[in-house]
Each structure stands twice: as C-alpha cells, then as structure tokens.
Amino acid sequence: MLERGEVANSWRRERWDSLRLLTPNWQSRLPGLRYEGPDPDGYMTVGEVTHFIEHFAKVSHAPVRTGVNVTSVRRADDGYHVTTSHGEIHAEAVVIASGACNEPAVPQFHDAVPASVEQLTPFDYRDPAQLPDGGVLVVGASATGVQLAAELRRSGRPVTLSVGEHVRLPRTYRGRDVLWWMDASGLWDQRYDEVEDLTRARRLPSPQLAGTPERTTLDLNALAAMGVELVGRWAAVRDGHALFSGGLRNVFSLADLKMERLLDTFDEWAKTDGFEAEAGPLERFAPTRMPESTRLQLDLRSGEIRAVVWATGFRPDYSWLDVPVVDTKGQLRHDGGVVDSPGLYALGLPVLRRRKSTFIYGIEDDAREVIGHLTRYLAVRR
Amino acid sequence: MTMVANGVNVQALLEAREVLKGAPEAAQFTWRASAKWQGGVHSRIKVQSFFGLGEEQNHKEEWTFEADHPEVFAAEDGGITPIEYLLVGLASCLTAGVASVAQNRGIQLRSVESTVEGAHDIRGILGADSDVRNGFNDVKVTFTIDADASKQEIEALVAQSQKRSAVFDALTNPTNVTVEVA
C-alpha cells in the first residue's frame, strides 16, 4: 500500500479545522473495528477520523509505505510498471484507491474575478480568521458550502451563498439520524447495477448535512434565518460583476420535492418492515422559503465581497495514470471497480458498487467483491 | 407505461440522447430567424431553416410572425410586442417539457394550461429612469394541469420541465449576445 503522505493524509492536510464526519459514530466502522466511545450518535472530528484510520492501519497490519508518491502507472508486458518517488515497482495488479476528491473543481470564470477579491477552495480554507474582514461569497450549497457559509456567518461576516442544484436533508427524522434511515431502509445497499441513472447517482453532490453535537438541520431555511443571503447559481462574470441565475426558485422546488419523496420511502419502509411503532411521529418540513427578492448580480469591485470560497465540488486527479482508462470528463472508466484494463481496479469512488461506496463503512462489501475479482484474475494467470 | 399517450415520442428522444453522448459535434444546432422592417415599429419575422445533426435542416414550411407595439405605445398594433415573444417561447418550452417528462414517467395528461406574466417597468426602455432595467423584473408562470398523478408528481413534472428547458435557461442565465452590422 503506497501512501503519498501519512496515513489519512487528506484528512490531515486537505480539510478545514471544524469539519466533522456527516455519518454518526456508530456508522463509522471498518472490518474488525468499530466505534466504542461514549457517544455513538455523535460525529467524529477531523482529528478523530485521522486517529480512527491510523488505528485501523495498525490493527489490520496494513503494509503501508508512507511518503511514497506514485508518479506514473503504465502497462507493462505482464502487469503494470509503477514509478514512485522512491523507485520503481512491478505489479501484476493495481488497485487505485486515491478517491474522487483530489482537487477542488472550480469554474473557469474564477479567473475573471477581480484581484482585489481573495479566492479560496476547501483545500486552502482552515477557519474564518484566515479570511479578510468583510463580506464573503460562498459558492455552492452542498455539504461543504452550507457548513462554511454557517461558520463564516457566525464569525460575524456578511455571507452570500450562491445556490445551484442541491440535496436537502433534515439531520434527524422521526427521532433518528437521517442516515440511520438511509441505512436501515436498505437505500444505501442499493447496488450500482440496480440504480436507475448511474451517471447521475455518481455525480450527486453531498447532502446539506453537518455533523454537529446539537444534531441540528443545516438547510437553506436555517442559513437564511442566520442572515445568510441566498442568490442563484453563479453563471458568469461580466465587467467585474458576478451574474447569478434567476432560477433559484426551481432549485428549491427540485430539492424540496426530492426530499419529500425520500421521506415518503422511509415512511413506507417503516410501515412494511414493522418499524412504525418504534419510530417517532411523522414529520414534514417547511418548503425552502424564497427570499422576498434576490440579487441577480453583484459588483465584485465594490468592496462588498472581500473573499470568494469555492465550494463547487471536487474531482479526481489521474494525471499520474498512463493507462487510457479515463473518459473525456476526467472520470475513470470502470464496471463496479473493475477498470477497463486487465488487472487494474478501483475502490472508494461514488456508487462504485453501492450507494454507500464512499462512506467509511461502505468500503467493506465493495472491497470484498473487487478483491474477489482480482484474486480470480491472478489465479487464472498463474 | 405503454398505456400512456401524450403524443411525445420519448423513445426517439432517449435514443438521440444515447447517440449524441458519443457524437457531441452532431448535437451542435443553430436556430435562425430573419426579420424585416415593415415601417413604424412593425417587423415581420420568418423562420424556416436551421442547422443541426451536421447539416442544414428545414421546418416543413416557413412560419411568419408579426411584431409591433400596441396602440398605447402610439403604434399600429400589427402584431405582438417583441418581449411578449419571450413569454410565448417560455410557455411553449415548459409545456413541451411537461409533456415529455410526463410521457417518460408514465403519467397520462388530460390538459395542460398555463399563464405567463412578465412584470415590466417601461421607464427603462423609455430612458425615464436609468436605475430601471429594460427587461422583465419578474416572470411568473402558473400551470393548471389535469393528469393521472398526485399533486406532488405534477409539481415534480413542472420542476423537471424547468430543469431541462432551453428558454427557461436562456431567460434565467446570462448569454453572450453579439449584434453586428453586416
């Protein structure tokens, strides 16, 4: 196992200070290792996640070689030739487990933002104190965007949040963590070959959730109540002005309707699986409130906005992969982790084999199946 | 699903989607309209040819549209106001979307009606107040739909039709526009 930095490197270096897992502690489990602390319903801090993964590396005796950066993987006659910062390796099979979040994805028009406005990505951002005083424009309303918007607003800054399509979820539903419902109702075990629109499922942004000890919902209504100004999707920069979409109302509707449908499926499951008595009373949530008026443009040179935080998602980096298995969108071509090149495999990508593939506890089933394929592949070759 | 008849050939659209995924160049369309001044503020616009799927295409016939301004604008009212054509475009695009999405979702429609209203402060175009914009301040579409579906399903149809609407996008997002003298 080659690790470019230390074990849990991206948790250590590429995330902000206040981040906690979206999944409750009881859901954070790896083969042979589960949370045994006092707060099963809490959410691990970045430090705790780092420790958890580090601990797993020890108890599982994973043969990790840290500080080894892979600079190239290419096909050789009978397998793969791997070039690293510490020499060359020949491998009969290679498993890519570098994840889907290696680089922040930022729209091209970021280069038209005036130089007087500081720009940060979640890879640079640590805490509010790092930003200049004054207004902040947070771009993107998925998990990262809503969390950073809330934190920046609490620091006393005026915050504008640019909202495109998003996934709205309550933190708790009928007395349970909403992720308990995802798990218990079987939704997260849904396989990639059962998902209706796999491309869409794999591109789905992370839900508007935050793992706070108070277990509060952090949706757009909550942010608006904190004084965060909502604007539409940032579409372009023209003459130093940010131009926002006028379609905000519809992205609210889409998210509200999707949430309703999801809660309906939970209720149905509770009924048919006899969970009705144990669950709390039925709940429905107020629609996302459309502000009285929304701004369609904002003068980035006026000094109102001092910093832009791009919470516009992440993308994988396969620049080191010298095997033609990456599509025009920069995504790996694979079928459930079996990459389109003999002996090459992937793990830990969105909906790799199941909806839960990118969750800590989601890796076990995927790994078993992918490694099963890999061992059969090696056996046939010998 | 096969029982639903909204008159939309969704199968053909889904097949086109699959084909065009691998052939982005064929997906490049150019739509055209040619206008001719008729005197006053009246113009006549003709639409027939367009480009798409790699070659010149034609509507079955040439369509003609009259655009003018109403008498309260001291004009002849020989056709609808240009900005009303935006409402025509939006209503027809969203309606087509509702029908397509309904067909795809197996929802039988019985009637789909909508009213589109554009709030317009004409002080902008008259140059009476430089703080007032020329275009709409607000556009509101109200659908009345009778279909074999729940209220929630109907709302989802309307939301999805906006999500996939060319005119909704063109109105809500900025577009580069170049106007030249040939």
CB–CB contact B156 A236 (8 Å): no
Predicted local distance difference test score (pLDDT) of residue B1: 47
> Is the separation of the CB atoms in B67 and B43 below 8 Å?
yes
Q: Is residue B178 part of a domain?
A: no
- Distance CA(A246)–CA(A295), nearest Å, equals 9
Statement to judge: residues B88 and B30 lie in one domain: no
Of B158, B172, B174, the CB nearest to A247: B172
Q: Is residue B8 part of a domain?
A: no
Statement to judge: residues A84 and A133 lie in one domain: no
CB–CB contact B174 A250 (8 Å): no
Predicted local distance difference test score (pLDDT) of residue B2: 53
Statement to judge: residues A169 and A221 lie in one domain: yes
Please report the sign of the dihedral spanned by the C-alpha atoms of residue B162, residue B168, residue B172, residue B176: positive
Residues of B in contact with A247 (CB under 8 A): 162, 168-169, 172-173
Interface of B with A (CB under 8 A): 152, 155-156, 158-160, 162-163, 168-169, 171-174
Statement to judge: residues B89 and B168 lie in one domain: yes
Statement to judge: residues B108 and B71 lie in one domain: no
Backbone angles phi, psi at A45, to 5 degrees: -80, 170
- Distance CA(A243)–CA(A299), nearest Å, equals 9
Statement to judge: residues B88 and B70 lie in one domain: no
Chain A nearest-CA residue for B162: A250
Number of H helices, E strands in chain A: 8, 23
Give the CB-side neighbour count of residue A310, counting CA atoms within 13 A.
20
User: What would the pLDDT profile of B29-46 be if each residue is shown by its tens digit?
Assistant: 999 999 999 999 999 999
Say yes or no to pLDDT of A321 above 80.
Answer: yes
CB–CB contact B163 A232 (8 Å): no
Beta strands A135-139 and A118-120, pairing class: unpaired
Predicted local distance difference test score (pLDDT) of residue A63: 96
Chain A nearest-CA residue for B171: A246
Cα–Cα nearest to B161, from A247, A265, A140: A247
CB–CB contact A254 B160 (8 Å): yes
Chain B nearest-CA residue for A236: B174
Statement to judge: residues A88 and A125 lie in one domain: no
Chain A nearest-CA residue for B163: A250
- Distance CA(A319)–CA(A316), nearest Å, equals 9
Statement to judge: residues B75 and B86 lie in one domain: no
**Residue bearing tokens 């459930």:** A336
Say yes or no to pLDDT of A338 above 80.
Answer: yes
CB–CB contact B159 A253 (8 Å): yes
Statement to judge: residues B68 and B91 lie in one domain: no
Predicted local distance difference test score (pLDDT) of residue A78: 87
Radius of gyration of chain B (CA): 19
Helix (H) or strand (E) holding B125: helix B123-126
| Both structure tokens of A130 | 């790092």
Predicted local distance difference test score (pLDDT) of residue A250: 97
Say yes or no to pLDDT of A113 above 70.
Answer: yes
| A-B contacts at Cβ under 8 angstroms | 38
Q: How far is A331 from chain B, CA to nearest CA, in Å?
A: 15
Task: Tell me if chain B has a CB within 8 Å of the CB of A255.
Answer: no
Domain boundary among the residues B57, B80, B103 is at B80
Q: Is residue B42 part of a domain?
A: yes
| Both structure tokens of B52 | 């798409």
Statement to judge: residues B54 and B67 lie in one domain: yes
Count of domains forming chain B: 2
Domain boundary among the residues B42, B57, B80 is at B80
> Is the separation of the CB atoms in A244 and A107 below 8 Å?
no
Predicted local distance difference test score (pLDDT) of residue A272: 93
> Is the separation of the CB atoms in A150 and A160 below 8 Å?
no
Statement to judge: residues A112 and A48 lie in one domain: no
Its domain, for residue B43, covers 15-80
Domain boundary among the residues B80, B103, B120 is at B80
Helix axes B151-163, A248-272, angle to 10 degrees: 140
> Is the separation of the CB atoms in A220 and A163 below 8 Å?
yes
Cα–Cα nearest to A226, from A242, A243, A210: A210
Statement to judge: residues A126 and A274 lie in one domain: yes
Phi-psi region of B73 (alpha: psi -120 to 50; beta: other; left: phi over 0): alpha
Domain boundary among the residues A259, A285, A313 is at A313
Say yes or no to pLDDT of A146 above 80.
Answer: yes
The residue-averaged pLDDT of A8-26 equals: 94
- Distance CA(A247)–CA(A98), nearest Å, equals 36
Residues of B in contact with A109 (CB under 8 A): none
Q: What is the mean pLDDT of chain A?
A: 96
Domain holding B20: CATH number?
A: 3.30.300.20
CB–CB contact A238 B152 (8 Å): no
Q: Is residue B4 part of a domain?
A: no
CB–CB contact B162 A247 (8 Å): yes
Statement to judge: residues B154 and B100 lie in one domain: yes
Task: Tell me if chain B has a CB within 8 Å of the CB of A245.
Answer: yes
Statement to judge: residues A181 and A141 lie in one domain: yes
Confidence of residue A72 (pLDDT cuts 50, 70, 90): very high
Of B163, B169, B173, the CB nearest to A254: B163
- Model confidence, pTM: 0.93
> Is the separation of the CB atoms in A212 and A42 below 8 Å?
no
Domain boundary among the residues A296, A313, A330 is at A313
Statement to judge: residues A288 and A205 lie in one domain: yes
Its domain, for residue A278, covers 104-313
Task: Tell me if chain B has a CB within 8 Å of the CB of A298.
Answer: no
Of B152, B156, B172, the CB nearest to A246: B172
CB–CB contact A247 B173 (8 Å): yes
What is A13-78 written as a DSSP string? HSS-TT-B-SS-GGG-EETTEE--SS-TTS--BHHHHHHHHHHHHHHTT---EET--EEEEEEETT
Q: Is residue B19 part of a domain?
A: yes
> Is the separation of the CB atoms in A308 and A112 below 8 Å?
no
Q: Is residue B1 part of a domain?
A: no
Domain holding A160: CATH number?
A: 3.50.50.60
Statement to judge: residues A291 and A304 lie in one domain: yes
Statement to judge: residues B116 and B88 lie in one domain: yes
**Residue bearing tokens 């027809």:** B92
Statement to judge: residues A158 and A218 lie in one domain: yes
Give CA angle at A310 (A141, A227), nearest 5°: 50
Of B156, B173, B174, the CB nearest to A257: B156
- Distance CA(A283)–CA(A259), nearest Å, equals 12
Statement to judge: residues A70 and A112 lie in one domain: no
- Distance CA(A42)–CA(A46), nearest Å, equals 13
Statement to judge: residues B100 and B161 lie in one domain: yes
Percent of all residues in chain A with a pLDDT value above 70, rounded to a whole number: 100
Say yes or no to pLDDT of A382 above 80.
Answer: no
Chain B nearest-CA residue for A328: B22
User: What would the pLDDT profile of A91-103 be if each residue is shown by its tens digit?
Assistant: 999 999 999 999 9
Residues of A in contact with B159 (CB under 8 A): 250, 253-254, 257
Statement to judge: residues B128 and B58 lie in one domain: no
Beta strands A159-162 and A229-231, pairing class: parallel
Q: How far is A315 from chain B, CA to nearest CA, in Å?
A: 21
The interface predicted TM-score (ipTM) is: 0.89
Q: How far is B156 from chain A, CA to nearest CA, in Å?
A: 7
Count of domains forming chain A: 2
Predicted local distance difference test score (pLDDT) of residue B4: 79
Radius of gyration of chain A (CA): 22
The residue-averaged pLDDT of A289-302 equals: 95
Share in percent of chain A as helix, strand, coil (round to 5)? 30, 25, 50
| pLDDT-flagged residues of chain B (< 70) | 1-2
Residue in B143, B152, B173, B178 to test binding to A, most A beta-carbons within 10 Å:
B173
Residues 6+ apart with CB under 8 A from B94: B114, B141, B143, B158, B161, B162, B165, B167, B168
CB–CB contact A247 B160 (8 Å): no
Confidence of residue A375 (pLDDT cuts 50, 70, 90): very high
Statement to judge: residues A68 and A129 lie in one domain: no
Q: Is residue B5 part of a domain?
A: no
Domain boundary among the residues A313, A337, A371 is at A313
Residues 6+ apart with CB under 8 A from B148: B107, B108, B110
What's the residue count for chain A? Answer: 382
Residue in B172, B175, B176 to test binding to A, most A beta-carbons within 10 Å:
B172
Predicted local distance difference test score (pLDDT) of residue A77: 84
Statement to judge: residues A52 and A134 lie in one domain: no
> Is the separation of the CB atoms in A319 and A102 below 8 Å?
no
Residues 6+ apart with CB under 8 A from A366: A337, A347, A348, A352, A353, A354, A357
Chain A nearest-CA residue for B173: A245
Cα–Cα nearest to B143, from B101, B108, B92, B180: B92
B29-63 b/e (C-beta count within 10 Å ≥ 16 → b): eeeeeeeeeeeebbbbbeeeeeeeeeeeeeeeeee
> Is the separation of the CB atoms in A244 and A295 below 8 Å?
yes
Residues of B in contact with A257 (CB under 8 A): 152, 155-156, 159
Neighbours of B129 (CB within 10 A): 10
Statement to judge: residues B72 and B112 lie in one domain: no
Amino acid at A92: E
